[in-house]
Chain A
């Protein structure tokens, strides 16, 4: 069957596969916009609780150490750059270059998660330590889940890159995954500002 319904498909000669993949990318972008509202909800909840709190930090907690997390932040944010390089390699047909940069980005994401785990273990408060503790673990945990999903998505795309003629119908899967990765990075920058820089 041929989807002759959308303007693009009727005009463009690529046929069914390309038209459908375009829908996927549109759908994915709509989903990302929607997903960002959950973070917006958490951010505004955090701001409301922090601004109205009589005692924000739990007793005995001085504040968050920001230098090491800043280091991991740099790692995560630069992985957006390596993802972009991987995409550029792919669009120029350098498949091994794509795989190398793609794997590097996955590794940088994993390093970030490792740093997060180390930090969680070293903290002197838990998720039930007042609304501060709840917010900290909820926000970093929810973002961490997104980083993990991003790494898994990238692994899937890496595995698919070994299929013959994988990119015949377009590179929408890779584009969607890298969009997701940039999204996760932007969220982290906002989160870092809210949690560590705003005191």
Chain B
């Protein structure tokens, strides 16, 4: 049970993967309870829906390349942007991050698996279920939900064809199932982090990714039930005819906005916090320096959790909220810049004077950081009430959050996928294809989303399929950027598949990184560390310090090399 007793056995024992793995593809299509299988299931499902959501986006950009509405019907266009937003959030970015959580958290903290493996598998399998429900809404009479991804009443309460099963009802059902799945996941991640850490791994020795994942999942636990409560009331209004949000029955449509944004603004931090974690893991590895200000970077995550719960009204500045609310929420929103700023400066200080190794993963992390800083600047602009009222519902807002969610979050996810690809597949990726992917993504992101800022300032409203010809110039550029982003997926998928099938065999620690996951064979066995969980004796990121992370580190590394 103690690690010292197991050292000899560990040296003798060759790491043996799951029977039949990694060539056993069938396990990815079963109710498998191994967190590493579930992680890959999440990521593969999410990438499929990234293609679906991206296809919808490209149809929209095809429509917007000319001022006239000539490609699709206006009602179809309404369905396109609603479904694009819903798919990208609930079926791409949340699942892909939960995939990373599943792969990384148990390995990083030295746990054999998640605390509740069956609950974990059930949470994953809900994703394809509500994915199918959401896709099915394209087939029902009246088409899919068309009231925007936020489904504000009274627009969302209109049911012109009068069918009980309509796009909006299916949308609410899918979002509710997504919420249940996320809560199941969050209970699991938080319990695992709190109770299953390796001996010696105190909270203050935990890798930053686990800190950020813990913070993000705490937000899920606090915020999601509020959205669920609000969505239940919306469903009752739509199906039963109650008047929670119907003004004619004494209801209050703005109440829904409070419920929705109480969760959906913190949801942005659920998305970006793990990406902060990825940045904090990658920069020390590829700069060969310890992370600057570890306790502050870790603590800033918790501060962000606290602040994220008291900023939601900034989405509602023009919704007829009282002036004191606007003032108060403007201040709290701007305060968010303090903990985020701490993190950005910590990363810059980590990079400063480092010996940078610019492989694909590092390029994506640097590109993501660049885009995040840009999005942070426009975020502060939007937090200011007068600016927000001016650009409300324009492309400025669309540009801002696409810089966050694509420019920073998705690029951070790409960075993570490349960085840990050798660990979990046992194969190296092709650096050339990876760099091509980065180049296309970085140029495409900025071509696509930068023009939205001048468009918004000029006054082009979002969610329209036709516009004044004076907006044409920037729209053409944005559309070209969108098609470039579409193309950028090709080298990515090509790289993933071909590297996994025939890429060079990966050593246990290809990047000379420090962390428990790099003390496992690539790919790790079904049960991480099996009986021999190492005892952690120092904090993470000891680059250049020469201090070992765990007891008997030299023996473990030698055994991994021999295997």
Mask: chain A, 97-115; 1 = CB below 8 Å from B; 0 = not: 0000000000000000000
Q: Is the CB of B531 within 8 A of A131?
A: no
Mask: chain B, 455-484; 1 = CB below 8 Å from A; 0 = not: 000000000000000000000000000000
Q: Report if A34-B195 is in contact (Cβ < 8 Å); known contacts: A27-B116, A49-B250, A49-B251.
A: no
Mask: chain A, 115-132; 1 = CB below 8 Å from B; 0 = not: 000000000000110111
The smallest beta-carbon distance between A48 and chain B, in angstroms, is 6
Which residues, 47 to 93 on A, are CB-close (under 8 Å) to B?
Answer: 48-49, 52-56
Which of B1, B110, B195, B221 interacts with A26 by CB under 8 Å? B195
Alpha-carbon separation in the docked complex, A41 to B258 (Å): 10
Chain A residue numbers with a CB within 8 Å of B556 are: none
Mask: chain A, 176-195; 1 = CB below 8 Å from B; 0 = not: 00000000000000000000
Q: Is the CB of B112 within 8 A of A1?
A: yes
Q: Report if A34-B221 is in contact (Cβ < 8 Å); known contacts: A45-B233, A49-B250.
A: yes
Alpha-carbon separation in the docked complex, A55 to B250 (Å): 8
Alpha-carbon separation in the docked complex, A171 to B198 (Å): 26
Q: Does residue A134 face the partner (Cβ distance < 8 Å to B)?
A: yes
Chain A residue numbers with a CB within 8 Å of B188 are: 27
Chain A residue numbers with a CB within 8 Å of B243 are: 128, 130-131, 134
Q: Does residue A22 face the partner (Cβ distance < 8 Å to B)?
A: yes
Alpha-carbon separation in the docked complex, A141 to B313 (Å): 30
Q: Is the CB of B190 within 8 A of A30?
A: yes
Where chain A touches its partner, the secondary structure class is helix
Q: Is the CB of A133 within 8 A of B222?
A: no
- Which bucket holds chain A's interface residue count? 35 or more
Which of A10, A33, A48 interacts with B199 by CB under 8 Å? A10
For residue B198, which residue of chain A has the nearest CB?
A5
Chain A residue numbers with a CB within 8 Å of B191 are: 23, 26-27, 30
Q: Is the CB of B194 within 8 A of A5?
A: no
The smallest beta-carbon distance between A71 and chain B, in angstroms, is 29
The smallest beta-carbon distance between B231 and chain A, in angstroms, is 10
For residue B192, which residue of chain A has the nearest CB?
A23
Segment touching A, from B234-242, B268-276, B360-368, B420-428: B234-242
Q: Is the CB of B187 within 8 A of A131?
A: no
Which of B2, B111, B229, B533 interacts with A41 by CB under 8 Å? B229
Alpha-carbon separation in the docked complex, A34 to B115 (Å): 18
Q: Does residue B524 face the partner (Cβ distance < 8 Å to A)?
A: no
Q: Report if A49-B255 is in contact (Cβ < 8 Å); known contacts: A5-B110, A23-B115, A131-B249.
A: yes
- 8 other A-B residue contacts (CB within 8 Å) besides A27-B191, A37-B223, A45-B244: A1-B531, A23-B195, A31-B187, A45-B229, A48-B255, A49-B250, A131-B242, A135-B244
